[in-house]
Structure 1
Amino acid sequence: MKGDSVFRRLTRAASFLTALDPATTARRIASAGTLIASLETLSQHKRFAKGDLLGSQADAFYPNLAQEHPRVHRALTSRALPYAVYGAQAALSAATLIWPGNRPLRIAGGAALTALQSVQGQLMPYGRDGADQLQMVINTTMATTGLIRDHERANDLAMRTLALETSLSYVASGLVKAVSPVWLKGDAVAGVIRTKNYGEPNAHKLLTRYPALSKALSWGTIAIECGFPVIYLLPKPAARAYLGTMTAFHLGIGAFMGLNRFVLAFGATHPAIHYVLSQRRRERAPVPVPVPSTNH
């Protein structure tokens, strides 16, 4: 019953998000994710030195840059570059968090955040993961759709695009696992939990003691990811329950594997899925037949 209570809270939270403007909610959650990510990186500024883990890797990726373009090389290998990139990302994310409905900020801020994340991927790739890639998709989507003057049309296209992208991400992730011998054997979850970077000692002990649980988690992950598009065909309660399961899935990953940024990255796309589900129900609703007037 306790699990049922937790699940009901998740579905209620999902319903609350549905009641809010989905595009605003998505932008706020996404900006919270990029803000936290940039502040976490800035807190490790001691590793911004040239050649260090979080510093610029321009020399490694562009070995001829120093000879061909020495000024550009000095700028791209400067210790100030990570400060500038992550500082700008933090400022733009904070602004978006405060003013999520501002159209100029949506366009310019989203484009700038995409550019900054691109720079990170090209020059400072260490410490990045799939959450960063999804954040880029969100920022690009919100910036490009913001060019549409009609507010409702812009948000409708943005939400449908993010819902599609999220569905494809889940299916792609599930298919990769489905052809992996480790995942099919059922040992993948226990193996990941055992690692130093993404492990949790107590959870690993539990999965080692009960291997059937590890298999259930491995196969269950494949099933819910590969089968995610079914959510658009399910009745309203079942669809909400499915999405609540995915929310719990990400929260579990954040709690046991330390991948907290995935919670906010995918969490930012869930309002889009709620929006598409609500639109689907409206589109399927019968059109009211006008009652003929009885006045003579």
Structure 2
Amino acid sequence: MTLTFRRRPAHAGTPTPADRRQGAVNATMAPIAIGQILASVESMTIGRLYRRDNLLRGVSARGARVGTLRHRLLTVLDSPTTPQILAAVNLVSATALLLGRNRRPVQIASNVVIGLCNRLNEIRTPYGRDGADQMTAVITQYRSLSALIPDAARSDDLFLRAVNYQAALSYFISGISKAFGSSWVQGDALGEIVRTQAYGGGPAARLLRDRPRLARLLTWSTPIWEASFPLIYLLPERWGRRALWGVKGFHVAVAAVMELPRFVWGFTGSHGAVGYALSRQRLPSSNVERVVLTATAAVALTAGTYAAAQRAQDRDRRAGLKGSVLLELEDGVVEYRHVPPTDPSVDADTAPVVILEAGLGNALDAWAWVADGVSHSAHVLAYHRRGYGRTTSSAAPGRAVEALVRTVGSSGPLIAVSHSIGLLVLAGYAGGQVDGRAFAGIVLVDGTDPDLFDADRADRRRVGTYLQSQAHTMFAALSGVYNFAPNAVARQTRYEPDQQNGTLQFIFAPRNVYRATREYFELPTAGAIDALRDVPVRYLVASEENAAQQESLARKLAAEHRLVPTSSHRSVIGFRGNATQVVSVIEEALDRVR
């Protein structure tokens, strides 16, 4: 008897593309199923919280008109027994999903039911969801939608790729958002979380409370790795999968600290799809992906290019005949605009000179309405401080103002008008002499209180909040999104078209954003109140937005106080009607110093 052995094909143990897809779907669905089983069991044990007088009571019927079919249906949804029924249905579906490994119809049907139950719960009580709940909802919805594609292979492939993109985007955006958050920038976020009553009772939370340096290190490292998550696709598959296990460990640690066992499953469910993408060298290329990436890059490039062109156009405008002028100093130039008196009966050689000191990061165009009104009987000077606009001189504001006053050639009294943080700039030179003359009067428009400003800069949280806002502004400046999306500058300013566009482009110029950030920390406050009180005539104009704060500042300065009703910090000089009221106060000051 002769024994013969058949050689096993070399590829017999290699999983096929279909095996890899199904394995990735299973790896995505299993954590979702476990998370939903835990959530269902939890819901079935807290029935008392769903009563009409308790925390998780239904509120969906409140906005519906009584007597309508919609109101009757939502009233049923708000019933305390409805969440229990939905939890039982969800439990059965989640169990079927967990046991339905390699059974595509079972997985799809279970996802549809789970998604529906969760959506009804969200309508009934539209709060209390966390990131894991949101990721679970995304995955179940993607699975339901992709099931509409008849071809199973294409359906599963599209589902996994969609979840993978969602996971990468979620981690990246989460990291960027934390980087803009003040408590994360300052390293306090995790420490604050473990000191709360809700999340600070576990042993892991107590460990972090006892080790603040470790809590701070973990706080700083979290946004770094989240924002860096897309780099995982550049690693060899073996190292990418190891990095993915590290991310799983992060979620387990978070769940341990906050004692939220359900927190793990929603996010780790997406890791099955990420693992599928990491084996990209064995996957067929997708024209859809190339189209999406190309379109995204094209939109980003177009928006950024358009913004740069708009800023260049504004610089050309300001350099034109109706724009600003450059004054040469020893170490550079100062950009300014001088408007002489427009009333022919006013003697230009003896007319008052009004210096306009802009707020933080603001353009001289922001004074357009005020300058137009005041120039009837006075010289008006507006300029850009060092680092802003076309100004290249590093001269201190007082030195620049003195040089500008000399160019006017008028012997009339000097009046200084400031907006916002311009008060602190003004305090640096208003108490002394300019071109041999002391200032006769000042008008402070919604000025920054030096004492409050010192308190802000000494508070790490408030500094973080400011840096967060500047980071948002810089992102808008670089991406050009400010030209297309509503923003506070556009809402609170209504200048003529040239000035309106100039103000917008100036504020969102990256160079000016950077300079404003530096100026925030550089401006001195010592002696500011005393220096301003040395000026004989003092007025303070307050926006309604900061009325109480400005009233307190007026008392410190012993200044005449005026309120511009219905105005905000920016619109107090950005709307013509508000600016007209500011002009009337300036004219009152001019009448007193003539």
User: 1:137 — aligned with what?
Assistant: 138
Structure 2 counterpart of 1:179, which letter?
A: F
Q: Distance in 1 between matches of 2:204 and 2:34?
A: 28
Within 1, Cα distance between the matches of 2:281 and 2:120?
38
Matches within 5 A, 1:181-220: 181-200=182-201, 202-220=203-221
CA distance in 1, matches of 2:282, 2:103: 29
Task: Note the residue ranges of structure 2 that are not aligned, 5 or more in a row.
Answer: 1-19, 286-594
Q: Could you say if the C-alpha distance between residues 281 and 190 of structure 1 is closer, same or farther in structure 2, counting changes exceeding 3 Å?
A: farther
Are residues 1:66 and 2:66 paired?
A: yes
C-alpha contact 1:107 1:144 (8 A) present in aligned 2: no
The aligned runs of 1:55-94 (5 Å cut-off) are 55-59=57-61, 62-69=62-69, 71-94=72-95
Query: For the Cα contact (< 8 Å) 1:32–1:93, is it kept in 2?
Result: yes
| Structure 1 match to 2:44 | 42
In the alignment, which residue of structure 1 is the partner of 2:280? Answer: 279
Other-structure match for 1:267? 268
In structure 1, C-alpha distance between the alignment counterparts of 2:201 and 2:169, rounded to whole Å: 29
Per-residue CA deviations over 1:94-116 (Å, capped at 9, x if unaligned) read 11111143333333332222222
CA distance in 2, matches of 1:19, 1:72: 40
Letter in 2 for 1:110: N
Segment drifting more, 219-228 vs 23-32: 23-32
Secondary structure, counterpart of 1:149 in structure 2: coil
- 1:33 is aligned, of 35, 56, 66, to 35
Distance, in Å, in 1 between the alignment partners of 2:41 and 2:189 is: 31
Matched, 1:153 2:154: yes
Aligned equivalents of 1:224, 1:266: Cα separation in 2: 15
- Cα distance in 2, alignment partners of residues 269 and 177 from structure 1: 21
Does the aligned pair in 2 maintain the 1:106–1:146 contact within 8 Å? no
Distance in 2 between residues matched to 1:154 and 1:219, nearest whole Å: 39
Contact 1:42 1:87 in 2 (8 A): yes
Summarize deviations over 1:195-226 as a string: whole Å, max 9, x none.
11112465455444543322210111011100
| Number of matched pairs | 265
Equivalent in the alignment of 2:107: 106
Per-residue deviation, residues 159-191 of structure 1 (Å, max 9, x unmatched): 111111001110111111100111011111111
CA distance in 1: counterparts of 2:27 and 2:206, whole angstroms: 38
Which residue pairs with 2:179 in the alignment?
Answer: 178
The alignment's TM-score, normalised by the length of structure 1, stands at 0.81
- Partners in 1 of 2:269 and 2:224 — Cα distance? 22
Q: Which segment is superposed worse, 178-187 or 146-155? A: 146-155
Looking at structure 1, the residues matched to 144 and 267 of structure 2 have their Cα atoms a distance apart, in angstroms, of 18
Percent identity reads 31
Moved more, 97-106 or 254-263: 97-106
SS state at 1:220 partner: helix
> What's the secondary structure of 2:194's corresponding residue?
helix
Q: Which residue of 2 aligns with 1:255?
A: 256
* 157 and 188 in structure 1: CA distance in 2 versus 1, 3 angstrom threshold: same
Give the TM-score normalised by structure 2.
Answer: 0.42
- C-alpha change, 1:108 and 1:216, in structure 2 (3 Å) is same
In proportion to residue count, which structure has more strand? 2
Find the structure with the greater CA-based Rg. Answer: 2
The CA RMSD measured in Å over matched residues stands at 2.4
Question: Which one scores higher on RCO, CA 8 angstroms, separation ≥ 6?
Answer: 1
Q: Structure 1 residues 38 and 216, CA, compared in 2 at 3 Å: closer, same or farther?
A: same
Cα distance in 2 for residues equivalent to 1:64 and 1:153: 42
